[in-house]
Amino acid sequence: MNFISVNQVSYAYSGTPVLSHVSLSVTKGDILSVLGPNGSGKTTLLKLILGFFQPDSGTVHVDGQDVGTFPTRMLARKIAYVPQVHRMAFSFRMMDVVMMGRIPHKPFIFRYSKKDKALAETAMERMGIAHLKDRSYTEVSGGERQLCLIARALAQGADTFVMDEPVSGLDYGNQVRLLTTIRSLASEGYTFIKTTHFPDHALWMSGQVLMLKKGRVVITGPSDDVITQASLSDLYHLDMDVAHTLCGTRVCVPDAMRTGRVPLQ
Amino acid sequence: MKHLWVVILISVLLMACALCSFFLGRYPAGLSDGIGLVSWMVQSKNPSMDPDMRLLENIFFNIRMPRILGAILVGSALSVSGAAFQSMFINPLVSPGLLGVLAGASFGAAMAMVFFKSFFAVQVSAFVFGCMAVFLSMGLARLFKGDRLLMLILGGIVSGSFFTALLSMVKYLADPYDQLPAIVFWLMGGLSSVTNQTLGYVCVPILTSMGILMALTPYMNALSMGEEEARSLGVHVGLIRFILIACATLMSALTIIMAGIIGWVGLVVPHMARMIVGPDNRVLIPSAALIGGLYLLAMDDLSRLVFTVEIPLGILTALCGIPFFVLVLRHARKGWG
């Protein structure tokens, strides 16, 4: 069963085509990494899945139902958006941020109940940040903020998490920790759709990959089949090497680092 | 539950301050006179039977009471609408006048002073044009694509400037010996013309709007995470934003018909409240209401007591607000705690 399916979607922003005839499908527990150069339409694709935009043609289905027909609140129970670590204007407590995840489960006028509080605390415990619940979001580290936003998505009760370049702004250690967290959540049955600028990260996830170039799908499939010297070289217009390490994992290395030459755009 | 105690403490302070304000004033009617009047009334005698008591009744209930209640109402309405705007626009430097309500109301009042001469007409016209200015900025924002908040702010700038220009025109046309001073004085703001009757018809809509805003505080928290994030959390952003703007505008416009233009309260008080209870709107909005009431009441007491001539309240709130705001800016880097 395809939990999320995008069929032949095209979208133009002020007359400029951003996506044309994009299709993809994701099943429960998948990790889909969307790769592509800047301006290839990755973020727009995520926003169409989240229902922020309506496609000009084609359809986006979640659980077999068209995204456009979902009330905002119902969609939020199925798909959670985990934004990039951001600066916030106001220094909310971590707990207050996670509690916001309960909004789609409440009536229009509401107060958070004990149950909401308990669910938020459980979500923070799962992310290992329960000890930070009374700290302010603006004073914890970037990695802790990202965990806080994932905890909010867990509290939201959604089973699909949409992430736009989740590792941006994180140091190397936190990037690896975040990717490990994503993998372990996926093994519990959560579905992830994320964009990334790092083909290596897509390989580490060993999930599905979709390559976008100028709004079109270049290739899609399991990461080990799709991420090759040829596809990466074409996608980024660079000479790339995909090498095997001694322990068998694959790594992507740009040739330019060795040769000092970059192909002309 | 630390915050609960803060809220209780501020409420007690506010009540104490309100009670004291009854016995402060140019006319020497102090505590003993108050007790005398109350005991007279407790004996269910009509105060109008005694000329002294009639005078005291007039001072306490027709002059001081509306002024005290007016100060509390205006202060809390401005603070709540300022706090709501700040979280909605994700910008702690925003004040209730952002969408042009003050400019519109100033023009409306000035025009009524020149053309109609009745105080009731001034109030109605100030209210109508205040709301109109906000409609204009919302309409302008709808004309253009792009970031909704940015477009609203630009719409507010345009509509504010437009009505400020119209205000200048009215001032230019006004009779410089009679009408112009009245306009200028009114724009300085003050509570001296608040009557029980005015209070009677503004208090219900102000309190209702305040109640609605307090019910929507969890959404304000979500809105201050940004439009898309709020939407992904299941918030109907357009609807909530419209309700917030409508209530905040209604409240600000009603404070203007009571007290003219009182600046800085809507900007400074939310910061005071945020420093005390933090940025969570569920606590911040009620606290801002209480602190705003207390602040404006104290300012009004100062304005009528410190000098032999009453200082216009709007001038005093600006003079006291500015140094405080500079202090706040020093803490700004810490994330508007």
pLDDT tens for B234-271 read 999 999 999 999 999 999 999 999 999 998 999 999 99
Question: Does residue A181 share a domain with residue A71?
Answer: yes
Tell me the per-residue pLDDT of A20-73, one tens digit each, with 9 for 90 and over. 999 999 999 999 999 999 999 999 999 999 999 999 999 999 998 999 899 999
Question: Does residue A93 share a domain with residue A192?
Answer: yes
With an 8 Å Cβ cutoff, are A91 and B336 in contact? yes
Question: Does residue A43 share a domain with residue A64?
Answer: yes
Q: What secondary structure letter does DSSP report for A139? A: G
Residue B109: its pLDDT value, please? 94
Total Cβ atoms within 10 A of residue B109: 29
CB contact B322 to A (< 8 Å): no
Tell me the per-residue pLDDT of B147-204, one tens digit each, with 9 for 90 and over. 889 999 999 999 999 999 999 999 999 999 999 999 999 889 889 889 999 999 999 9
Question: Does residue A203 share a domain with residue A245?
Answer: no
Which one is predicted more confidently, B25 or B194? B194
Region B272-301: what's the mean pLDDT? 94
The enclosing H or E element of A114 equals: helix A114-126
Which one is predicted more confidently, A185 or B39? A185
Contact status, residue B38 vs residue B53, Cβ threshold 8 Å: no
With an 8 Å Cβ cutoff, are B228 and A93 in contact? no
Beta strands in A109-222 (DSSP E): 160-163, 191-196, 208-213, 216-222
Question: Does residue A94 share a domain with residue A116?
Answer: yes
* Domain count of the fold of chain A: 2
Question: Does residue A259 share a domain with residue A183?
Answer: no
Question: How many CA atoms, within 13 angstroms, populate the side-chain half-sphere of residue B37?
Answer: 21
Question: Does residue A146 share a domain with residue A35?
Answer: yes
The domain that contains A61 carries what CATH number? Answer: 3.40.50.300
Question: Does residue A247 share a domain with residue A204?
Answer: no
Whose tokens are 């994700």? That residue is B90
Those of residues 184-243 in A touching chain B at CB distance below 8 A are: none
Question: Does residue A239 share a domain with residue A216?
Answer: no
pLDDT above 90 covers what percent of chain B? 67
Residue A195: its pLDDT value, please? 96
Residue A265: its pLDDT value, please? 63
Best residue in A87, A90, A94 to probe B by mutation, most B CBs within 10 Å? Answer: A90
Question: Does residue A53 share a domain with residue A33?
Answer: yes
The residue range of the domain holding A97 is 4-227
Question: Does residue A98 share a domain with residue A80?
Answer: yes
- CB-closest option in B216, B218, B229 to A83: B229
pLDDT band at A232 (very low <50, low <70, confident <90, very high): very high
Interface pTM, i.e. ipTM: 0.91
Those of residues 92-131 in B touching chain A at CB distance below 8 A are: 92
pLDDT band at B35 (very low <50, low <70, confident <90, very high): confident
Which stretch of A79-83, B101-105, B318-322 has the lowest confidence by average pLDDT?
A: B318-322
Those of residues 24-63 in A touching chain B at CB distance below 8 A are: 47, 50, 52
Instruction: Give the domains, in start order, of chain B with CATH numbers.
Output: 85-261 (1.10.3470.10), 263-337 (no CATH)
Residue A1: its pLDDT value, please? 56
pLDDT band at B337 (very low <50, low <70, confident <90, very high): very low
The enclosing H or E element of B2 equals: helix B2-22
Helix (H, G, I), strand (E, B) or coil at A181: helix
Question: Does residue A97 share a domain with residue A163?
Answer: yes
Residue B53: its pLDDT value, please? 81
Strand order in the sheet with A31-35: A79-82, A160-163, A191-196, A31-35, A208-213, A216-222
Minimal C-alpha gap between A226 and chain B (Å): 31
